[in-house]
Structures are given as C-alpha cells and as structure tokens.
Chain A
Amino acid sequence: MTPRRVVRRIAASALIAVVLAFFAVPMLWLAGAPFDARPGLGLRWPDWTLANVRATLAHPYALTSLANSVLLCLVACAVTTSSAALAAYALSRVRLPGRDALLYLLLLLSSVVTGTAAMVPIFVLMLQLGLIDSRLGTALVLAGGLLPAAIFILKDFVDAVPRSYEESARVFGASAGQVLGHVVLPVARPGIAMVLVWSFVNAWGNFLLPFLLLRDVGRQPAAVLLRTLQDEGGSVNLAVIPVFSLLYSIPVVVLYVLVDKRYGFRFHGGIKS
C-alpha cells in the first residue's frame, strides 16, 4: 500500500467510527432510562432498578395495547405486501396505458390521505362502513395509505427480474400462477421483505387514525397508549414511558432481524436504474 492509500484507509475508518457513534449515541437512553430509579429526559448513568418494569407490566393496558399493535400491523402489512406484490407484477409485465402517471398520482394522493386533513372523510367513511372500533377496518385504512409507495418500490424490483426466467419457465409449461409463485416471487423476495418491514414500521407508529377509529381502550394500539401516559397537566409518566418505549420497540427490531436473517435485508438488483 502506498502511504496515500494508508492515510485514506485511516480516514475512511475514522469516518465509519464517527458514523457509528452518531447512530449509536441516541439509543443509549433506551438502554439506561428504563432501568433507572429516577429516569429523566436526559442521559445519565442509571441507579439500576427493575421497579419501572414492574410498574409498566402492572399497567392495565400496556400489554394488551402491544398485542393490538401486533395484530393491527400484521394485517396492514400482510394486506399491503400481498396486494402490492400482485399489482406490481401485473404493472411490470403488462402494458397498461398511463401506467406510470397513475402510479405517481397515487403516490402523491397517499401523502394527502395520510395527513391530518383527511380525518373527517376517513372517519365518515368508516362510520358508514360500520368499521368504527374495528381493528381490521383500521388496518385496511392504513394499508390504503401505504399501498402506492409499496407498489412503487416493488415494481422496480420486479422490473429487475429478467424476463428470460419467465419465458423459460413458460417453455416448460408452467402456468402464470406457477411462474409468479416459483420464479418471480423467489427472485423478488428481498424486495418483498423490504416492503414488509417498511409497511409494518409505518403502521406501527401511526397515532391519529387508530385514535380516531378505535373507541375501546382495550383495542387501541401502543402508539395511542404511549400518548396517554401523561397526566392532566401534560406531564409524562416517567416511570412507565421508558420501559414501554423499550417494549414498544422490540417487535419492530425482532421483525427486522427475522426478515434480515431469512431474506437478506437488501435490495436485490436494486430499484431499477
């Protein structure tokens, strides 16, 4: 190695170390505060205790709300991923007039409907459908908002699957369903994994929709509960919030690790260039 190369190597390592610290430091709170006898909104070495954990587990709705979140998000994410995969495949393989323009338009509309201003239409719609207080219904609304971006991302993955694969499969007499199931899906799997995690994470953090659409506190997800852990003056309940934040984070991390282990969490061939 030339000296210049060595210097550059060191510079690159230093940069990576800085980045590592940049991403790691904010997470320290989640490691310390839940087990601190006097948790605060600041970083300090904790007086270790499990009292907060006990207080959180004793909370009447902490665990049910997490179960609700899992249910809500699994449905939203399954619906989003499956229908987006089908749609992305069809859009990628069949010429439809105005396809790209339509996709962009939907992508833009999704930003309207996930915003605050759409709450009245969505509320009235759900009321008329009889889906107020229905976790399934709320999951469908979430899925509706996530679908355009999911299709957008997946279509590029499917585009990257060489058509020759399908042509050869068809030569050997495979039906369209078999081509999809045995050829396209396996190749596009990392993309599907990506959308799976992305849609789950997005649904997991949504507050306003579940808050307005779900009435029974026993059906509300963790995102809503986290906002209710405050007293009448708006002060946060610091015994419960750090532990609950930790519990609330675990499912998404687990999902990510599982998907990563199984499918290799990266773009395969990438979004189309």
Chain B
Amino acid sequence: MWRTTTTAPRVVCCLLAVSGLLTGCLGRTREADPTRNADAKEVTLTIVANAVSGGKNARGADWITNWVIPRFTEAQRAKGVAMTVRFEQNGAGDEDFKTKVALDLKTGGGADVVELDGIWLGEFAQAGQVRPLDEVVGAAEVDAWDGWRQIPDAVQGLGEFEGRRYGVPMGTDGRVLFYNKKLFAQAGLPVQWQPRSWDDLLDAAAKLKALPGVWPLQLNAGTAMGEATTMQGVLPALAGTGALVHQDGKWQGDTAHVRDVLGLYRRIHRDGLADPVLQQEANGRERSFALFAENRIGILLESDYFWRSVLDPVGGVARMADRDTAVGWALIPARRPGAGVGGQDFVSTSGGGVRVINPDTRYPRQAWEFLRFLNSAEAVKSSLAGTAQITQRQDVNDEVLAGDPVLGFIADRVLPITRYRPPLADYPKVSAALQQATADVVAGREPEQAARSYREALVKAVGEDSVAGG
C-alpha cells in the first residue's frame, strides 16, 4: 500500500537525468550512412501497422505474424543472420494511429518498417520524418530491385512524393457505384445499368424514390463521416466536373467546380433522394452499409472494400446472402459525357497504403531486405489468404483477380481512369473544409453560400496564395 515512498527516490533520479536529456531531444542529427550495420549477425527489426489480430485488418496482422515473420527469420537464418522481427499491432482510428507514428518518428524512435496510409506520406516527408528510399538505403540498392517492374506506375505514385520514392505501395482500390438490382427491377429500371451523366444518376434515383422505405442514393456527406465524405463523395464528384482538388499548385476554392459539386448535393437533398439524418450520425457510414444490405438503399458509392469486406456473404460486416446476384456495379459518370477530368466520360478515386523505412533505423539494409520480402510475389499472394484484392503487383493481380468480377472490373476499367489524392500536408485541412461545406448543404444552405464559407475556411487553413478561384 505505501510502496510509493520507496519508488520516489528512483523517480527523482530519473527526473534529474531527464532534465539534461530533454534539451537535446528534438534536435538530433540523423545518421546518414545507408550501409551502417549492414554486416550485423544479430538483427532485430520492428514493423508497425494499424492491424491487430481479432480486430482491425485482422487478416493483415495474422499474415505478418504467421507467415511473414517465420519465413523471413528462417531465410535469414539460412544466411547466418540471427533475425528477430517484432510486430507492433494497433487497431485504432486512423488519426490516433497517425499521431502515434508521428510521435515515434519525431522523437527518433519507432519501428524500422512503418505501414502508412499513402495520403500521409507528404506530411511525414515535409516534416523530415520519412526520407526518400535512395537516402535511407542507397540509390543503387533501391534501383536494383526487380519488383518495381511489377508495380504499375499509377500505383507506384502512392509511394512517391515530389517525384521521389519514399516507400513501396501495398496495393490499391477503386471506387464505383454499387446498386441493388432487385430494387432497380421493382422501380422499372434496367438491371444492367450504366449512367452516363449526373442527370442519368439522379433520374434513376428519382424512380427509386417511389419504393416505400428505400433511400435511393447514398453519396457520403457531412463531417461525421470524416474522410469517407471526401473520398466517396466530394472527390469523385469533383473529378466529374473536370477538376482535381489540387491542380497547378493551388487548391480548389470557391470555383465553378466546387459549386457544381455542392449543387449536386443540393439536388440530392432537396429532392429527398438521400437520408439527411444518416449523414450526421456518429455511425452513419456503418448504418448506410447495413441499410444497403437490407435492400433499403438503392445506389451507393464505395470502393471495392464494400464488395469484398462489407457485403461478403461469409465474413462481411453487413452480410448480404444474395450479394452475387443482387448487387450490380457501374462506373461513376462525369457530370456530362466528356466533362470529367482529362476529358473522361467516367471517373474514380483511389487510395492505398504504403510501407516506408524509418530513417533512424539501425539496420537500413536489413529493413530494405525485409521490405522486398514483404513485396515479393509469394508474400503478396499469401497475404490475400485465398481472397481477392487488388495488390500492388501486376503478376499477382493477373492471377487472383480473374475469379472476382468486381475486382477484375476495377483493375481493368477503373484503375486506368482513377485519380489519387494529393499527398500534401495541407490536404487533411482542405478535406475537412470540404466536408463542412457538404454538411452545410445537407443542412439546407445554398451551394453558393456554402462555397463562400468553404473558401474562407480554406484561406484561413492554407493561405490566400494557395487557393484558386474568386
């Protein structure tokens, strides 16, 4: 009970030690030699990911624990290296995880190999918390890897910032419109459906509105859904107006493109085509999944994740027993044919994770070897554990995607036309401002008003010079 009195002196000693150390703590110079400890015979590597057995991304966590670590350490033992790989599992919200990684990298600690969302790369790079692979492990080593040839250029872009490679991507995804064929049949719509414009989309939704208890269209909006609003709502719509959120060095401000996007939201909610309350609920996205699975939402814009992890009749979050027959998918149309970004008729957005090497690692060469191992064809194939997903490697995709109609469709038809988010430090603030603008429109404000407030918020967040449009 009264043990503290004995621990107190120890704490005092620690405190004295601290005061000296703190000053030097945040201003270290980084070790630069990429060949340091290259010949070590006893090596410990740590990998950190936002994945945990029995929770978030459980499959990825189990793969690292049960497949990667045993195989890699065994291969190293054959080379005479006593390798220990530690796996730091996490299962938190993305922002919590990002904070943890940032604290680690900022203080010179952390795992040797770090799994990040590709969208964070720019922030970490601009803060100097991750460095280009060339600097960390040496340009010759990096270029010598034959795996790069298997990764399509568009996907490699996920691991790049300002034209330099920072990490190896972990696969990608693509967004399409999922729709319920049963509801379409009931509403007298064709079950093989491909809208060519926003008007087509809204016309179909208007027909679905006649069905009782059905919300025709779910285009994520509002702040409660966070990044899901931007990624599954604003950005695909913006691409459909022919603009990227960041182009020619500036962010979209109060431009015609942004007003068009907000106008789309206005039409959806003015005509009662979507549930406004759902957009504001703390668990609204989850609810929209459940409603779709219960045949109560007609059309929903999501990534392939929705197909393989949400509606999956076996392991899905919101299982849909007749998924394979009841769910259709279509490309996201531009506002008008040819009006999309790059003159496209159809648009999409993609994201994905990326693995980087901690610049402060004690074993850069070994970490790079581990990274190559993680991205070998054999490893990537085993990470799928029999399911289909769009991986970073073309050879693996060719083999596994043939069996899954949606993923094959996305790999063939969506990835060639998709766009990635700009991996810049300011992006989260812009994204938050866009979410707020959609929330305003759902709450009943006019698109012009919402666009003006959006611009004000944007100027405050990123500065007048970085905002396009009057």
Q: A residues bordering B, Cβ < 8 Å?
A: 41, 59-62, 78-79, 81-83, 86, 119-120, 123-125, 127-129, 132, 140, 208, 211-212, 215-217, 224-225, 227-237, 240
Contacts and interface: CB of A to CB of B under 8 A. Distances in A.
A82 B2 contact: yes
Contacts of B89: 217
Nearest to A41: B283
Given A233-B285, A234-B286, A124 B92 contact: no
Interface string B447-469: 00000000000000000000000
B100 interface: yes
Contacts of A79: 3-4
Contacts, number: 106
A232 B117 CA distance: 12
B163 interface: no
Contact of A128 (B21, B99, B286): B21
A211 B92 contact: yes
A228 B309 contact: no
Nearest to A235: B317
Given A60-B53, A82-B2, A227-B92, A235 B289 contact: yes
Nearest to B96: A211
Contact of A230 (B3, B53, B55): B55
A232 B107 CA distance: 28
Given A124-B25, A127-B109, A217-B52, A228 B18 contact: no
A217 B64 CA distance: 14
B55 A237 contact: yes
Given A119-B103, A124-B22, A235 B286 contact: yes
Q: Looking at chain A's contact residues, is the secondary structure mostly helix, strand, loop, or mixed?
A: helix
B91 interface: yes
Contact of B56 (A83, A125, A127, A228): A228
A129 B103 contact: no
B88 interface: yes
Given A127-B107, A233-B317, A228 B22 contact: no
Contacts of A225: 55, 91
Given A217-B89, A231-B309, A132 B109 contact: yes
A236 B286 contact: yes
28 contacts: A60-B53, A62-B54, A78-B1, A78-B3, A82-B2, A82-B4, A83-B4, A119-B99, A124-B22, A127-B25, A128-B18, A128-B22, A128-B25, A129-B18, A211-B100, A225-B91, A227-B96, A228-B52, A228-B91, A231-B55, A231-B317, A232-B57, A233-B286, A233-B317, A234-B93, A235-B285, A235-B310, A235-B318
A61 B14 CA distance: 32
A227 B96 CA distance: 11
Contact of B88 (A62, A140, A217): A217
Given A217-B88, A227-B92, 7 more contacts: A60-B54, A129-B17, A215-B88, A228-B91, A228-B92, A229-B91, A240-B54
Interface in B1-23: 1-4, 11, 14, 17-18, 21-22
Nearest to A78: B1
- A-B pairs, top 7 by smallest CB distance, nearest first, are A228-B91, A228-B55, A217-B89, A235-B317, A59-B54, A60-B53, A235-B286
Residue with the highest number of chain B CB atoms closer than 10 Å, among A132, A233, A237? A233
Contacts of B93: 227, 234
Interface residues of B, number: 39
A81 B2 CA distance: 9
Interface string B192-230: 000000000000000000000000000000000000000
Contacts of B84: none
B91 A227 contact: yes
Interface centre among A123, A232, A237 (most CB of B within 10 A): A232
B90 interface: yes
A119 B104 CA distance: 12
A82 B3 contact: yes
Contacts of B107: 123-124, 127
Given A41-B283, A233-B309, A212 B100 contact: yes
B67 interface: no
Most chain-B CB neighbours within 10 Å: which of A41, A83, A120, A215?
A: A215
B289 A233 contact: yes
Contacts of A78: 1, 3
Contacts of A59: 54
Given A212-B103, A217-B90, A228-B92, A234 B55 contact: no
Given A41-B283, A125-B18, A227-B92, A233 B99 contact: no
Contacts of B25: 124, 127-128
Contacts of B2: 82, 86
Nearest to B91: A228
A123 B21 CA distance: 14
Nearest to A240: B54
A216 B88 contact: yes
Interface string B57-76: 10000000000000000000
B52 A232 contact: no
B171 to A, nearest CB: 12
A25 to B, nearest CB: 21
Interface in B74-107: 88-93, 96, 99-100, 103, 107
Contacts of A129: 14, 17-18
B318 to A, nearest CB: 7
A61 B62 CA distance: 13
B100 A233 contact: no
A132 B26 CA distance: 17
Nearest to A227: B92
Contacts of A128: 17-18, 21-22, 25
Interface string B269-302: 0000000000000010110010000000000000
A140 B103 CA distance: 20
Nearest to A140: B11
Contact of B90 (A86, A228, A229): A228
B56 A231 contact: yes
